[in-house]
Amino acid sequence: MRIAPLVVLSALAAVGQQAQPQATFKVTSQLVIVNVAVRDSEGHPIPNLKASDFTLSEDDKPQKVSVFEYQKLDSTPLAPLEPPPTLKTRAPAPAPKPPVRQAITTSKPGQIRYQDHRLMVLFFDFSSMEPAEQIRAQKAAIEFLQKQMTAADLVAIMSFANELQVLQDFTADRENLIGIIKGFHIGEASELAALGDTGDDSSQDTGAAFTADDTEFNVFNTDRKLSALESAARMLASLPEKKALVYFSGGVNKTGVENQAQLRATVNAAVRSNVSFYSIDARGLVATPAGGDATRASTRGTALFSGAAQRQLSSTFNDSQETLYTLAEDTGGKALLDTNDLSMGMRQAQESLSSYYILGYYSTNPALDGRYRRIKVQLAPHLKAKLDYRSGYFAPKQFKDYNSTDKERQLQEALLLGDPLTDLSLALELNYFRLARDRYFVPLAVKIPGSELELARKGGNESTILDFIGQVRDAHGRIAGTVRDSIEVKLKGGNVGQLGKRFLEYGGGFTLTPGDYTLKFLCRENATGKMGTFETRFSVPDVVAEQKYLRLSSVVWANQREPLSAAVGSAERNQKLLADDPLVKDGYKLVPSITKVYRTDQDLYVFFEVYDPGAEPTRKTAEISASVSFFRGKLRAFQSEPLRLTEIPEKGNLVGVHFQIPLAKFAPGPYTCQVNVMDEVGKKFAFRRAPMVLLP
């Protein structure tokens, strides 16, 4: 298919987001650590082996064992920790919240800090749990620490609400651990767990005129959860011991357009760091009656009577557990689902970390090429046992030493290999507009936080080079479109100092036929070599087949309209392809607001196309009436004056609809925006909804 590599890179205004601090680990040597569990035919650990009993190879080349330790882990539970007696006195003042640590204490290469200890991390994802689920997870963790912790166990505590926090490094102090867990603020970030209804007919009726489509929030909320788990795994990477991360969650909802690359990057980071995820669904055993239980409002429409509501509830619940299962299965852990005994999941993690050997070697391959290297461990022929270990790792890399050929090869390999990179954060949006009955233009918009870019001084300007590569495949895996661009970004004056609080947005596009597709997109910043991958599935609908409702394109929600000449970087422009993009008109480009976050000093731009409207027979004109409504909770906060379009449809039998709404008079907060469209001649209507957040 013909592609449209339209590229406009423009600086976007700040929207109040701040970059979260991330732990940074530097490779200081080529020491490779391999944890090997050696078990007999009955599954029992085999002790007293020597380094000479093992043979190590990397890519079929023998390696010398330089680090050898046996981790003997005791599984005898400690005596139950009895709670202190209850005194009939005034309740003491709550203990001060413990200071938040920024990282787990690291180890030097080859150092075995925790000899003969089992390392477990209790990770509480408050953003995915309702208050009742937070209480259930809290009680289960306390019960485990009081009655089931062994002498070999060292436990760390992490939490995630808006950011990842390390509340306690590895310790055996049960009283301190229990005190931290008891000090949780129940209900923290639980409002994020309530997001999930997509505004269809099976969604619950909250009493508002329309229900918000929370899909956009869920997309980035899901990525933040997975990114926090990835950061936790990276924090633990310097510890050569095996680690078990027990993930308490209320399920990780999927929307169908989330970034699949982030899930794979999280799993890969855990595998490299010798971390296994043990996912626990804090909802416990759930039996959902038709239409939902008492925690949900009743559904709208006829879905309750047709069975659609129950099917939707069941599908949503299963999807939320699928990610938990994937995290556990792909990292060597287990998922605990549909049971009220949550402490069982912690016991599974405890029992799976039996005695094992730590083998370390200095690789004989000094190349820092970032390629995958296969590891093979064997025992002496006279020893019969089952070995369990990781099968390989990705070598470190130094981007500064790459030449142009190496850089291009790296991009191609990163796009094709199944190891996504998330060092550079990306947000991505796809829309669709009809060009002909069987062809659609699909604009691509990618947002990159300016705080993650490193600009190098060149000729008095601040500049860097960004590489973009993307590939669209159809439902059969065939390539339907590609994009490859290299853009030099130049900033001057005040724009340089403000880059940390602004965004850069890349625009491109594809020409596709109706169908289901998968997009894999990768961006690289060439000053440091940081790369980010975004993967998503999307569909291009056949609007011609729509008979019941008015035929519409995607609705683009934007917060700025920029002249093409103001772009801080662009590729060579193709005037024909620019003409295909409906977001470009009269030398200006409408820049989609991917995250749907706005400020009160901005305007909201809304654009969409109406296809095949009914035409008045004598004048051959269409009569379209459209308006934009804002809902906040149960109340309609605003509705624009109806926009009436009486005109002859443009080429392709379409009518473009534009709105520009100042946001200065709106109160900050979350809103549901709805476009209402009526074809007065054709007697058809349509409406589209989207969430938005307005900041002061």
Asked if residue 277 belongs to a domain, the reply is yes
Report the C-alpha gap between 438 and 364 in whole angstroms: 56
Bridge-based pairing of strands 65-71 and 356-362 is antiparallel
In a domain, 208, yes or no: yes
**Residue among 58, 60, 54 at smallest CA distance from 30:** 58
pLDDT confidence tier of residue 663, bands split at 50, 70 and 90: very high
Q: What is the CATH number of the domain that holds 670?
A: 2.60.40.3880
CB 652 within 8 A of CB 434: yes
Domain boundary among 354, 369, 395: 354
Q: Which CATH number fits the domain that encloses residue 133?
A: 3.40.50.410
Between residues 651 and 26, which one has the greater pLDDT?
Answer: 651
**Tokens standing for 593?**
């607001």
Query: What's the domain count of the chain?
Result: 2
pLDDT tens digits along 546-594? 888 899 999 999 988 887 766 655 555 555 566 678 888 888 888 888 8
| Candidate ranges 48-57, 244-253, 492-501; pick with highest mean pLDDT | 48-57
pLDDT at site 248: 94
Of the three residues 354, 385, 418, the one that is the final residue of a domain is 354
What amino acid is encoded at 99 in this protein?
P
User: In 276-342, which ranges are continuous DSSP H helix?
Assistant: 303-306, 308-330
Min mean pLDDT across 127-131, 186-190, 294-298, 624-628 is at 294-298
Residue 202 domain flag: yes
Q: What is the distance between the alpha carbons of residues 188 and 30, in angstroms, rounded to a whole number?
A: 42
Show the domain range for 620: 596-696
* Domain-located, residue 399: no
Does residue 268 fall inside a structural domain? yes
What is the amino acid identity at position 24? T
pLDDT bucket at 9, cuts 50 / 70 / 90: very low
Q: Is the pLDDT of residue 324 over 80?
A: yes
In a domain, 327, yes or no: yes
Say if residue 426's pLDDT is above 70. Answer: yes
- Domain boundary (288, 321, 354) is at 354
CA angle 360, 365, 369 (to 5 degrees): 110
pLDDT at 139: 93
**Cβ neighbours for 511, distance < 8 A, ≥ 6 positions apart:** 1, 2, 3, 4, 435, 439, 440, 441, 442, 481, 580
- Is residue 321, in this structure, part of any structural domain at all? yes
Average pLDDT over residues 122-144: 91
pTM of the predicted protein model:
0.60
Q: What is the pLDDT of residue 11?
A: 41
Report if residue 529 sits inside a domain.
Answer: no
Contact 420/531 with Cβ under 8 angstroms?
Answer: no
